Amino acid sequence: MKINHESYFTIFMMVISFAAAAYAFTQWDFKTAVVPALCGGGAFVLCSFQLLRELRGKKTKSARIMDTGFDKDKTTERENMVGAIKYFGILVGLYISIYIIGIYPSIGLFVVLYLLASGEVSAAKSILVAASIVGVVYFIISEVAQEALPDPLLYRLLT
């Protein structure tokens, strides 16, 4: 197991994510530090798995779901622009959905549709992953940060 030049970026990301989590927990109050620490910790764990794969010599399978492949040799500038506009539109759609039906159902819907669009995950696994992500987001927002979210537009119209 030898570290090659391709692993330097993974190691760099591990250091940055650990430093962000450590800084958040040591310098900020607990409620403020939870999200950066969880994100930094999660990124550290994922980068650790990636580093282990790289050290074993396994190649990571490339999935081009959201990646438009901004490669000047293989795509035209027009294709890059259309791809950027497409994914910007997806994010705008997510934000509008959050405004209309709320953050929790919107995140669940977004994750399910994203995974189904990849064509590599079954509907049951997509729903399970979406429910897990919504659960984590709910726990962080409602239980840890104890923040009350504004009512979505649909709720206000129906009441």
Domain count, the chain: 2
Q: For residue 59, give the 3-state DSSP assignment.
A: coil
- Rounded to whole angstroms, the Cα distance separating 112 from 126 reads 5
Residue 60 is predicted with a pLDDT of 58
Q: What is the CA radius of gyration of the chain?
A: 19
pLDDT in tens, 91-127: 899 999 999 999 999 999 999 988 888 788 899 999 9
Residue 41 is predicted with a pLDDT of 85
Q: In order along the chain (159 residues), what is the average pLDDT of each group of 10 residues?
A: 78 91 87 82 88 78 52 66 82 92 93 85 92 90 79 87
> CB–CB of 24/64 below 8 Å?
no
pLDDT in tens, 118-137: 788 899 999 999 999 999 88
135: amino acid identity, one letter: G
**Are 44 and 102 members of one domain?**
no
Which residue segment(s) compose the domain that 144 sits in?
66-159
- Backbone phi, then psi, for 77, in 5-degree steps? -65, -35
Residue that terminates a domain, selected from 43, 60, 77: 60
- Rounded to whole angstroms, the Cα distance separating 2 from 55 reads 6
**Are 86 and 157 members of one domain?**
yes
**Are 158 and 89 members of one domain?**
yes
pTM beyond 0.75: the answer is: no
> CB–CB of 86/98 below 8 Å?
no
81: amino acid identity, one letter: M
